[in-house]
Structure 1
Amino acid sequence: MLVNILREDQSITYTGCLSQVCFFIDFVGMENCLIAVMAYDCYVAICHPLRYTVIMNPHLCALLVLLSLLLSSVVALLHTVVLLHLSFCTDLEIPHFFCELAQVLKLACSDTFINNLMVYLVAFLFAGVPLSGIIFSYIPIVSSVLRMPSPGGKHKAFSTCGSHLSVVSLFYVTGLGVYISSSVTDSSRDSAVASVMYSVVPQMLNPFIYSLRNRDMKATVRMLMGRTASVM
C-alpha cells in the first residue's frame, strides 16, 4: 500500500501477487498463534507467579515462537501452491489495495472449490483454536484476580494482561467486522476499507498499546491529555 502511494503505480506482477498472498497469510497466522501464546504467558504470570521463570523459560519461549512460525509458514505455502493451479485471465484488476486471497479467488477462471475449502478449514484452525486457548487461559485469570484481597494486587494483575486484552479485542473484532461486512455487502470498496481495519490499524496501534505499560509513556499521555483538555 505504501509503495503504491509513493510510486503512484498500482500494478503488480503475478509472482509479486502470489508472494504478497503468501506473506500476508504467514504473518496473520503467526500473529494468531503468538496472541494465544501471550495469553498463556499471562495465565502463568498471574496464576503461577512463583513458578513463572521455571515454566516460561527461554527454551520454551523460543520453541513456541518457532512452532508458530512453522505452522503459519506451512499453511501459507499450501495456500500459495493450491493457488498456483488456478487459471487467470490477463490484465486483471483486483479491487483492493493488496492481493487478498478472497479477492484473488474471485478473479479465477477455474474451479475454486478446493481453495475455498482450505480457506474455511484454515480459518477454523487459526481463529477457533487460538481463540479457544485465549478464552480458557483467561477463565482462571479472572477467577484468580477476583480472589485477590488487595486492590493493588488486582491493579497489578490488570496491568499485566490489560494490553494483551486490548490487542486481542482489536485483532478479533476488526477481523470479525471484515467477515460480516464481506457477507453483507458485495461492494469491493467497502471490503477494502474494512480490510484496512484488521490488516493495518491493529499493527499500527500495537506499539502504542504495549508502550502504555511504561510509566514515562503513561505520564506523557496524561500530560498531553491535560493540555488538550485545557485548550478545549
Structure 2
Amino acid sequence: MDLSVSTVLVTGANRGFGRALAAELLSRGATVYAGARNPDQVDLPGAKPIALDITDPASVAAAAEATDDVTVLINNAGSSTGADLLAADPDDIRLEMDTHYFGTLSVVRSFAPQIAANGGGAILNVLSGLSWVSFPEYGAYCAAKSAEWSLTNALRLQLADQGIRVSGLHVGYMDTDMVRTVDAAKSDPADIARIAVDGLVAGDYEILADNASRQAQAALSGGVAALYPQLP
C-alpha cells in the first residue's frame, strides 16, 4: 500500500492512540480525516477534522456523506467502562458492545462502499489482547472486543472480493487516558502506531504489537488450561 496516495479515516483521533495513528499516517504522506465526537478537539496540524460519533447512526451517515475519497478506514474509537458482567449497570455493559461491536460495524457498513468505489483499500480494526483472554474486572470490555474480533474475521471474507483487506491490531496496555488508573507496564502509543501502520502497509491480517498480545494468541491453542491456569 502506498500511503502517499491514500486517504485514511481514523475514528477517535482527537487524543490517545487515535491521535498517534493520525500523526504517524500524516508523517508518511497520507491524507487523514480525524474523526471525533467534537472535531474542535482535533489539534493535529494537517489532519482534516470530521464530526463522528460511532454510536450514532446519523453521525456515521453524515460523515460518509461528507467524504468521497476514503480508501483506508481505521476503527479506533473505543470505550472502557470497567464493567463487571455480573455486578455492573447493564447500561455500561451495553455501551461497550454498542461502541466496539455495533459502532465499528456501523462505520464499516457506511464506508466500505466508498472504499470499494475508490478502487479498494483497507480496513484496520483496533482490537486488543483482551480479544482472546478475559479478565472478570473488565468482563464487558473483553466480551465486546472478542465480538469485534469475530466481526473482523467475517468482514475479511465478505469484503475480500471488493478489494478491501481487513486487518486487526492486537495490543496490550498503552499509555493513554483509557488505562490511566492501571498499574502495569504500558507501551508508548507512538511506538504502537508505527507498528500498526507498518502492518497495514504490509497487508498483514493480524498485527500483534507487543508481547502481551503474542502470549494471548499463543495461549489459545492450549485451551482453558492455558488461558486461565488459576482455575481448579
TM exceeds 0.5? no
Task: Give 1 or 2: higher strand fraction.
Answer: 2
Task: Give 1 or 2: higher helix fraction.
Answer: 1
Name the TM-score, length of structure 2 as normaliser: 0.28
- The answer to which structure, 1 or 2, has the higher relative contact order (CA under 8 A, 6+ apart) is 1
Name the TM-score, length of structure 1 as normaliser: 0.28
> Which structure: larger Rg?
1
